[in-house]
Amino acid sequence: MKKIGIMTSGGDSPGMNGAIRAAVRAAINYGMTPYGILSGYKGMIEGSIFELKHSDVSNIISRGGTILQTARSLEFKTEEGQKKAVANLEKYGIEGLVVIGGDGSLSGAKVLDEKFGIKSIGIPGSIDNDIYGTDVSLGVDTALNVIMDSIDMINNTASSHGRTFVIEVMGRHCGYLAVMAGIATGADAVIIPEVEPDLAGIAEKFKKRAADCKTRNILIVAEGAGSAYDFGKKLQEAGTFDARITVLGHVQRGGFPTYFDRVLGSRMGAAAVEGLMNGKTAVMTGLQGNQIKFVPYEEVFSKRHELNNNIIKLLDDLA
C-alpha cells in the first residue's frame, strides 16, 4: 500500500488532531504518501483531497477539534454519492483509509469496504463513549474534564445561594459522561438513559437534605434521558426547590486535549497505519486494558457498549 487517505467525520472530539498527526507521520515513516480528506465523506465526494506532509501536522497535537474539519453528508448515503467518492479516491490512487469518527463514520467505511473494496481502519472518536470494542473513545477524557470543571464552578454558586442546579450533559444513548461526572463532582443525583428516572425519589432525597440544612443540590442529566428543563420544572412542582438549569452543550467538545487523549490519539493513529500496511481492513482500533486491539466492524455494530453496573452502584452509594 503506497497511498492512504486520512479523514475525520461526524462530531469532532478532542484528540482527533493527535490521531491525524500520528497517522501522517507513521505513514511517511513506512514509505507511504498520506492524503488528507477535508470535511469527511462530503469532501470525499467533492474531491477535497490533498497530500499531507510532515510539516502540515506540526504543533497540532495540543489543538482541539480537527484540522481536517468534519461534516455530515446525506449524499454519501446514496449509491451515486458513494460512486463519486470512490472515483475521487481512485483519482488520487488512494488504496486505504484511516477514518476517525463515531458509529456513523465507521458505517460509511464499512460500506466502502464491502461494496467497493476500499480498505479501511477506523478510530473511535465519540465523547459519548458509546462505541463498542473500546474501553474509551477519543475525546471522552477531555470532555469529562471540561464537565467536571464546569460543575465545580456551578457548585460554588449553588452552595452560596442554596439552590438546586440541574445540569445537562451530552449522551444521547449512553450515560457514561453523566455517571462519571457524577462520581467525580460529588453530584447528589444523576439521570441516565439506561435507568428509568425516579423524580419522586430524587425530590424526596432533596427534601431530606434540606431538613439537614443541606440546601445545595446538583442533579446531572444525560441528554438522552430527557430535557434538563423538564426535570427542573418537575422538581420545582414536587417541592420548594429554587431550581436553575444549565445545559453545557458543545462546550463539552472544546478545550485542549488532555494528556490521555493526546496519547490515545497518537497510539490509535499509528496503529491504524501499521494495520493497513499489514493488510488489515474493516476493523476499528480499540483500547482494551492498556492494549490497542483491532475490533471487526461487524462486532462494533452488532454489540452495544454497556455501562459497568459496578460503576452505577458506586455512584448510588456515594451520592
Catalytic residues, by residue number, are 128
Q: Is 24 annotated to bind ligand?
A: yes
Residue 120 labeled ligand binder = no
Does the annotation place 186 within a ligand binding site? yes
Asked if residue 99 belongs to a known ligand binding site, the reply is no
Which residues fall within 8 angstroms of residue 251, CB to CB, at 6 or more apart? 146, 150
Q: Is 261 annotated as a binding residue?
A: no
Report CA torsion sign: 257, 96, 52, 67.
negative
C-alpha cell at 275: 494495520
Partner residues linked to 5 by β-bridges: 35, 97
SS (H, E, C) the chain: CCEEEEEECCCCCCCHHHHHHHHHHHHHHCCCEEEEECCHHHHHHHCCEEECCHHHHCCCCCCCCCCCCCCCCCHHHCHHHHHHHHHHHHHCCCCEEEEEECHHHHHHHHHHHHHHCCEEEEEEECCCCCCCCCCCCECHHHHHHHHHHHHHHHHHHHHHHCCEEEEEECCCCCCHHHHHHHHHHCCCEEECCCCCCCHHHHHHHHHHHHHCCCCCEEEEEEHHHCCHHHHHHHHHHHCCCCEEEEECHHHHHCCCCCHHHHHHHHHHHHHHHHHHHCCCCCEEEEEECCEEEEEEHHHHHHCCCCCCHHHHHHHHHHC
Q: Is 284 assigned to a binding site?
A: no
262 is in an annotated binding site: no
Task: Please check if 149 is assigned to a binding site.
Answer: no
Q: Consult the annotation and say whether 188 binds a ligand.
A: yes
103 marked ligand binding residue: yes
Is residue 104 annotated as involved in ligand binding? yes
314's grid cell:
458506586
* 63 annotated binding-site participant: no
Is there a binding annotation on residue 291?
Answer: no
Residues 6+ apart with CB under 8 A from 211: none
- The answer to whether the annotation marks 73 as part of a ligand binding site is yes
The reply to whether 223 sits in an annotated binding site is: yes
| 69 appears as a binding residue in the annotation | no
105 is in an annotated binding site: yes
Q: Detail the residues annotated as belonging to a binding site for Mg(2+).
A: 103
- Bind-site residues for substrate: 126-128, 163, 170-172, 223, 244, 250-253
Residues annotated in a binding site: 11, 21-25, 72-73, 102-105, 126-128, 163, 170-172, 186-188, 214-216, 223, 244, 250-253
Binding site, annotated residues for ATP: 11, 72-73, 102-105
- Residues making up the annotated binding site for ADP are 21-25, 186-188, 214-216
